[in-house]
Amino acid sequence: MKTISYGRQFIDEDDIKTVIETLKSDYMTQGPKIKEFEDKVAEYHSCKYAVAFCNGTAALHAAYYAVGLEKGDEFITSPITFAASGNGGLYLGGVSKFVDIDKDTYNIDISKLSEAITEKTKVITPVSLAGYPVDLKAIREIIEKTGKNIKIIHDAAHAIGAKRDGRNIVDYADVTILSFHPVKHVTTGEGGMVLTNNEEYYKKLCLFRTHGITKNPYELEENQGAWYYEMQDLGYNYRITDMQCALGITQMNKLNRSIYKRNQIAKFYEEQLKDIEWLKLPLRYFSKDWLAEEKYKDLKEKPENLNSYHLFPILLENAEERKRFFDYMRENNIFVQVHYIPLHLMPYYRKKFGFKKGDFPVAENYYSREVSLPMYPTLTKEELEYIIKVIKKFRI
């Protein structure tokens, strides 16, 4: 059996052809493919504006900037996430705060959110871990009860295309970020995007991506001619290329099928592993029965609730067994992964903010037991059956 990774990209001839055509065009970057890709993603999520960036971390940095996070402002996120969720706020001088995770969903524990909000709280950044859509409506309701002007940045890097109660991942959020890393549902090699329905944020995002520079004649303080541009704020070179966006466009054409296939794989795992007492499977957000309905084939229609399954996280009984299981799976050419080491336990966060082991016990317990099984749409029946066979032999 060849090596099976926890995630991988799917590139077909259509992707390759489109990228080659773009390479032969007049534009390598700052051309028409960028706007075409942005419009395609925005339309898919019924959103007004989308701004593409060179990677997901740049998109997060820009999102914190767009909603007005400044030095000394506090932002709240989950400790179970990749470093970028927190780092984006730190780049602007923000102060990192965490709320523990829910023991079943592995997303931020909304019941503990109110007690973490202070007079300095400016942003809440919930993460839809593994593709399980976080309850943004409940978070918005908590914010409204405080009477504070707190913004929501939805880190949906794992959750493109997910739905909750019939609402898209942009609903109830001020901005939503996506990632297009190769293991994600849609890849541009590296890349990210910010989605918003707020025109002011959209303009700020566009400036931030390109050194704070604009050539828009309607935005210039003065206009000396067709060559003229102004740097109106301090921005960065976070531009994405036309080559990447050409790939993103064709990848978007395969997104629905990818999500459908991922749900089929999740159903297979559940059916094969449900009776193993020493494994805890991830919570399914919706009934798996819809997979059998013809109208949902290729997700031309979507169910009201949809987990997009970037990952399939399972929990072992304890840390020692997790370590043995991880090594055992890799010895059998199944390259599982762990998602994630709690961010508050990283040396930088411990030293800068004083976080320590025990601060967020649910997150720490989750991390000590978690392993992500392979989850990508091109997994074959043979590979899936092999994965199950190896897992079932672990304790024999």
Q: Are strands 121-125 and 74-77 parallel, antiparallel or unpaired?
A: parallel
CB 341 within 8 A of CB 55: no
Query: Tens digits of per-residue pLDDT, 273-299?
Result: 999 999 999 998 777 778 878 788 778
Q: Quick count: other Cβ atoms within 10 Å of Cβ 346?
A: 16
> How far is residue 284's CA from residue 132's CA, in Å, rounded to a whole number?
8
4-252 domain in CATH 3.40.640.10? Answer: yes
> How far is residue 240's CA from residue 34's CA, in Å, rounded to a whole number?
8
Say which residues have a Cβ less than 8 Å from residue 312's Cβ, sequence separation at least 6: 130, 265, 266, 269, 282, 372, 373, 374, 375
CB 290 within 8 A of CB 244: no
CB 148 within 8 A of CB 117: yes
Q: What are phi and psi of 145, to 5 degrees?
A: -65, -30
Does residue 301 have a pLDDT over 90? Answer: no
Residue 200 is predicted with a pLDDT of 97
Q: Tell me whether residue 8 is exposed, middle or buried, using C-beta atoms within 10 angstroms of its C-beta: 0 to 12, 13 to 18, 19 or more.
A: middle
The per-residue DSSP string of 328-356 comes to HHHHTTEE-B-----GGGSHHHHHHH---
> How far is residue 69's CA from residue 91's CA, in Å, rounded to a whole number?
10
Q: Which fold has domain 255-392?
A: Aspartate Aminotransferase, domain 1 (3.90.1150)
Structure tokens, 193: 């995007």
Q: CATH 3.90.1150.10 spans which residues of the chain?
A: 255-392
Structure tokens, 380: 């074959």
Residue 394 is predicted with a pLDDT of 97
> How far is residue 88's CA from residue 99's CA, in Å, rounded to a whole number?
17
Does residue 32 have a pLDDT over 80? Answer: yes
Q: What are phi and psi of 271, to 5 degrees?
A: -65, -35
Does residue 228 have a pLDDT over 80? Answer: yes
Residue 2 is predicted with a pLDDT of 86
Residue 4 is predicted with a pLDDT of 98
Structure tokens, 214: 């604009």
Q: Kindly report the CA angle at 92 between 88 and 98, in degrees rounded to 5?
A: 55
> How far is residue 263's CA from residue 289's CA, in Å, rounded to a whole number?
11
Distances (CA, A) of 102 to 172, 187, 302, 366: 20, 29, 26, 10
Q: Quick count: other Cβ atoms within 10 Å of Cβ 70?
A: 11
Residue 396 is predicted with a pLDDT of 75
What confidence category does residue 327 fall into, taking pLDDT thresholds of 50, 70 and 90? very high
Q: Tell me whether residue 54 is exposed, middle or buried, using C-beta atoms within 10 angstroms of its C-beta: 0 to 12, 13 to 18, 19 or more.
A: buried
Q: CATH 3.40.640.10 spans which residues of the chain?
A: 4-252
Q: What is the mean pLDDT of the chain?
A: 96
Global pTM?
A: 0.96
Query: Tens digits of per-residue pLDDT, 357-373?
Result: 999 999 999 999 999 99
> How far is residue 51's CA from residue 177's CA, in Å, rounded to a whole number?
10
CB 159 within 8 A of CB 308: yes
Does residue 1 have a pLDDT over 80? Answer: no
